[in-house]
């Protein structure tokens, strides 16, 4: 298979690979559990950076024989990840708070399975509304 990309398309592709790698591998402390095929594909695609006129985004480490993002790539592409994280944070937080409250009620045998599912949605909505209305200022950690 051959795919032809212009420089802007290639830049978007390596940005997608960079962000995908962050999501797949950033929380892994060891190489175990990393998606080997993804990493091979990423290395292959990064090998074309100079040819595509994107050499400022990718550098090759001779000792490790691998391509890595440059600080320029990280600085430019990380903004997309930060924006994503900020946009999903309220939903994630509401879901965690709702599950925590629900688990307390289940532990006390206060509801059955059908009631639990319905209550979960109600609680998520309650917490999300609270966060959206008041931000994080009412959030207190114990």
**CA angle at 119 for the pair 114 and 120, rounded to the nearest 5°:** 100
| Number of neighbours of residue 81 by Cβ within 10 angstroms | 15
Give how far the C-alpha of residue 98 lies from the chain's centroid of Cα atoms, to the nearest Å.
21
Q: What is the pLDDT of residue 99?
A: 92
Regarding pTM above 0.75, the answer is no
Q: Three-state DSSP class for 30? A: coil
How far is 78 from 27, CA to CA, in rounded Å? 16
Which residue(s) pair with 121 in the sheet? none
Q: What is the pLDDT of residue 66?
A: 96
What 8-state DSSP symbol labels residue 60? E
Give how far the C-alpha of residue 19 lies from the chain's centroid of Cα atoms, to the nearest Å.
7
Instruction: Output the six-digit token pair for 138.
Output: 């009412």
Answer for the pair 52, 12: CB distance below 8 angstroms, yes or no. no
CA dihedral 132, 137, 141, 142 (to 10 degrees): -120
Q: What is the pLDDT of residue 84?
A: 84
Q: What is the pLDDT of residue 29?
A: 66
pLDDT per residue, tens digit, the chain (142 aa), is 889 999 999 999 999 999 998 888 877 666 677 889 999 999 999 999 999 999 999 999 999 999 999 999 999 888 878 888 888 899 999 999 999 988 888 888 888 777 888 899 999 999 999 888 888 777 776 6
How far is 46 from 40, CA to CA, in rounded Å? 10
Q: What is the pLDDT of residue 6?
A: 94
């Amino acid at each position: 298979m051959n795919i032809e990309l212009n420089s802007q398309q290639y830049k978007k592709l390596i940005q997608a690979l960079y962000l995908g790698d962050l999501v797949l591998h950033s929380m892994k402390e060891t190489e175990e559990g990393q998606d080997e095929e993804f990493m091979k594909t990423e290395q292959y695609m990064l090998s074309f950076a100079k040819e595509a006129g994107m050499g400022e985004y990718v550098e090759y480490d001779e000792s490790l024989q691998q391509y890595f993002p440059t600080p320029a790539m990280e600085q430019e592409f990380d903004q997309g990840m930060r924006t994503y994280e900020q946009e999903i944070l309220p939903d994630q937080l509401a879901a965690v708070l709702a599950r925590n409250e629900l688990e307390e009620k289940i532990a006390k045998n206060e509801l059955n399975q059908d009631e639990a599912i319905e209550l979960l949605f109600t609680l998520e909505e309650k917490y999300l509304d609270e966060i959206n209305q008041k931000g994080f200022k009412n959030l207190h950690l114990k």
